[in-house]
Amino acid sequence: MTAGPIPLEDELGDVLEKALRRSGFSDEEVAARSGVTVGKIRDAIDYRYDLDAAEVRRLAGALKLNEVGLGALREGRYPLPEITGLPFCVWPLRMRHGVGVSNAYLVGECGGSEALLFDVGSSFELLAREWPAHVKSLGGVFLTHAEPEHAGGLREVMGHFGRVPVFAPVGSGVAGALSMQEGRPQSFGRMAVTSYDTPGHVEAHSCYLVASGAAPRGAPLFVAGDLLFAGSVGGAYHCRHELARQLERMLEVIPAAAVVAPGHGPMTTLAHERRFNPFCI
Ligand SMILES: [Fe+2]
């Protein structure tokens, strides 16, 4: 992957399309509620933007979206926070998959030779290209969900690293994987990992909160999978109501100081997404 700013997973058109589906309204109903023509709404969903700031504000109102964040997306200036305060190191492993990019994350003590791996990407070959050389072993592998772009490389990872405990959401069908009890922290070396069941994008989906046992006051890491992205949310392929409910629950349960490591797009913080994310309102 090339260096440089990491693009958001979704732009304005994607966010409007997801918000429309979430609302359950037809295009015509949103047009009537917002005073924006159906043609302009459909054009925006097709990435042909002809919406002024006032129209985007009215769409935000009709679709119950955060208008500051939606306006920032319209201007191509969605803000991203500085990532600070983690008492351990996080290595995002960004891998191309089809037309998109998916993220896996290694988490461990800075400079340590062992780390925890969250998602594995679609192949070990892609993962290995991004792998920090000093990480030689894994204390655990944690899958957010079993889609190929996030879990497809699991067998190769296991072949490379040998016997490593693998955790996956209940019902995900990952052979040999263990499941974690929701909300109960489990220790892996000096790290504590807590799993949350967060169906919506798919039925079997987990998010993970990672904290340091050595520095419990440091910011935790929230591995969000395809529940929450910087500036957007995952597609609700299983259930839009469930995804909205789980997002709302995570915004309450997870500390605002948490750094968010999403399955796609750049890292962010929960406090920042609460302030700007169109779907966090
Ligand atoms: Fe994904």
- 195 alpha carbon to ligand 1 midpoint, in Å? 18
- What pLDDT is stored for residue 213 in this prediction? 87
Residue pLDDT, tens place only, 169-222 = 999 999 999 999 999 999 999 999 999 999 999 999 999 999 998 888 899 999
- 149 alpha carbon to ligand 1 midpoint, in Å? 6
Please say if the pLDDT value at position 2 is more than 70.
no
Tell me which residue has tokens 């500036």. 231
- Please count the other Cβ atoms lying within 10 Å of the Cβ belonging to residue 80: 17
- 85 alpha carbon to ligand 1 midpoint, in Å? 27
- What pLDDT is stored for residue 214 in this prediction? 87
Q: How far is CA 232 from CA 16, 17, 131, in A?
A: 10, 11, 27
- 102 alpha carbon to ligand 1 midpoint, in Å? 6
Domains contained in the chain, CATH given? 12-74 (1.10.260.40), 89-276 (3.60.15.10)
- 229 alpha carbon to ligand 1 midpoint, in Å? 10
Which of 240, 272, 179, 234 has its CA nearest to residue 15? 234
- 121 alpha carbon to ligand 1 midpoint, in Å? 10
- What pLDDT is stored for residue 47 in this prediction? 96
- 37 alpha carbon to ligand 1 midpoint, in Å? 32
- What pLDDT is stored for residue 217 in this prediction? 87
- What pLDDT is stored for residue 98 in this prediction? 82
- 270 alpha carbon to ligand 1 midpoint, in Å? 19
- 55 alpha carbon to ligand 1 midpoint, in Å? 30
- What pLDDT is stored for residue 183 in this prediction? 97
Crossing angle of helices 12-23 and 38-45, rounded to 10°:
120
Please say if the pLDDT value at position 89 is more than 70.
yes
- For ion ligand 1, residues whose CB falls within 5 Å: 226, 263
Please say if the pLDDT value at position 80 is more than 90.
yes
- What pLDDT is stored for residue 1 in this prediction? 61
Of all helices (H) and strands (E), which one includes residue 253?
helix 240-253
Residue pLDDT, tens place only, 234-275 = 999 999 999 999 999 999 999 999 999 999 999 999 999 999
- 53 alpha carbon to ligand 1 midpoint, in Å? 30
| Segment 165-169 long-range contacts (CB within 8 Å, at least 24 positions apart) | 165/140, 165/141, 166/140, 166/141, 166/142, 167/140, 167/141, 167/142, 167/143, 167/195, 167/206, 168/142, 168/143, 168/204, 168/206, 169/143, 169/144, 169/145, 169/197, 169/204, 169/205, 169/206
Please say if the pLDDT value at position 4 is more than 80.
no
Please return the burial class of 237, using the count of CB atoms within 10 Å of its CB with bins 0-12, 13-18 and 19+: middle
| d(C-alpha 98, C-alpha 77), whole Å | 26
Tell me which residue has tokens 């700031």. 53
Please say if the pLDDT value at position 39 is more than 70.
yes
- 264 alpha carbon to ligand 1 midpoint, in Å? 7
- What pLDDT is stored for residue 216 in this prediction? 82
- Chain mean pLDDT for the chain: 95
- 217 alpha carbon to ligand 1 midpoint, in Å? 31
